[in-house]
A and B are shown apart, each in its own frame.
Chain A
């Protein structure tokens, strides 16, 4: 499938680069629909990789790259289930999401997340699967999961640990604070910062540069320098499921879902 247009994501190959667009209102919340469409993408990826040198992931929405997991959907889905069944349902969803994220991480293509605006939780975890993150000046990043009594569940902490110093990871995780693109570049998360509205153009220019290189060499270099922390990713699922069974999580999710607070996205 060389191109696809879904409700949450679309993709097409442009000038040798696969462009994967996120476009689920209001801010690309990652839920059942998105996951199913990402799984379609992963199924199509081997054939796409044969004719491409790069993969770009970007958002078509003004609000941002992604606000992360669809917490409302998670809350209402698990509320209908007994506790054990709810945890099983969450585990199944995490396993499927990890399969998608791990496959993106392991792609032999050079992958670029072109981000702007809100890049929170699962959105940041998606960006972290990519080899490069290019961001415009509106980008804002956070792992706010601890306020729900959870840890990030889509591979965020193992991948952040892979890429950044542990003190930085502790700060971002344990405070849940959001940070701007200046900070993101200072800590090494973001490779290039561009003016508002220019991120896709710069990502495409970067992909074009990557296209000049010998593809097998780029793939070998990536495999050599970017290990995938599979053991920690497995452990993350276990910890997440243990935590999800705690009453604090249900209370945290309910508070978020029912919040009329002006700042529900802030920790």
Chain B
């Protein structure tokens, strides 16, 4: 029976080629527009570290201005002062804790003929790599003693290793960064979480740093932060010392907390720390400390661009228009075929048989629309890539994976079936034989 319906469906589609093409095109274009935006939304809001995203917590303490919240409504600053970051890090109350800031170093390759170049750098503490599951190709993270002893050691990423050492194991070699000599202790494997969740203050879709070096070395070498620095109180005279003792926030902190009990006790620890700082006249605002896991932190930072939200809404409405279009056309088609239907009913076909026949036809259109939709999605993503071609990060956001391809086809077939239900229902309900009379 199914094959017979299939043949009837194909015949009916062939009988109205222009109309059938219009229906397929409408579904294809609707699915294409929708899935293009859904794909980007899906990647932007993806979980960059699914295996432990609920254990990693971004740490905030409210050291801000007594007269004005850092951000409404009563949000503490995203970053910490040098005083607080180092104190909280040294207390070591979490399973792991990491403090870091973004900077930039000039790499001076050994040969005379190669030009120096600048690379994004992260000054951090050794547990960064274990905490964020950063994979190593050669070597490993530096020892704790390097953090404590200001040892000039460095971890570089795969692409910098490729550029400088042709991909060879470079552990133990020396590297000159902005006039300082470092010993390479580790080379990372490819690692590019999207979004780059560990630092959402800067470009959240950018590449992770190429160079990682100990926080203490960056402090001793007075490396400037290239991330954001925010201050609510004037910095007194006294150069870099005064800046480090100031209320300016510029350091980020993450803590790994594995259970609700650990989270509670960490919050209590933060509150106790702030209470103690209040004694020495700091932290003029009421207690307002926060820990946010990766999902909550991404949410707070609105990593999904607002424009994508607007486009997603409009694209869904666009699909609705395409479906209304298909329903209208299918209905018109069914009405015109009322005579056939009526005749089949008169000859003994059940309502269920007519329903099946029409649904098969709609599914063929849905499948064709779905395949066209996948192609349209691909084209749509290429179009967006082209619009943002000045920014390298865009290529990460316009990738189509199998999940999205299958989603496109399934959405297309579901849409076509949804569009077919009402016209089919009308078709099944023709009275046998009445339509056979003259109009």
A binds B: no
- B contact set with A: CB distance below 8 Å: none
